[in-house]
Amino acid sequence: MIPLALYALWFAYRRHHARKTGEVIHIADGPWLATILATMALLAAGFLWAGLTDEKTGPATYTPAHVEDGKIVQGEIHAR
């Protein structure tokens, strides 16, 4: 989301200055390729970081909801 937020800020800045000069700015005129590449790079880095960290769930383990003896048992978080 960071690259897209930066793109939105850039577009707002350009639009503000374009109003002063009478220039017409379209949203497609911006640096879309750089925005998409930055988004993909941050996404890949986040996936790598999440996959390579040792503790996957932190100090607790989540047990999802399940059915026991025909009854629904709610999910629980068990501290280690």
Average the pLDDT over 58-66 and give the result.
Answer: 83
Q: What confidence tier does 56 reach under pLDDT thresholds 50, 70, 90?
A: low
Count: domains in the chain: 1
Mean pLDDT (the chain) is 83
**Considering the entire predicted model, what is its pTM?**
0.48
For residue 64, what pLDDT is reported?
93
For 10, the domain range is 2-79
Residue type, 58: G
Q: Is the pLDDT confidence value at 58 over 80?
A: no
Amino acid at 13: Y
Residue 7: Cβ within 10 Å count? 19
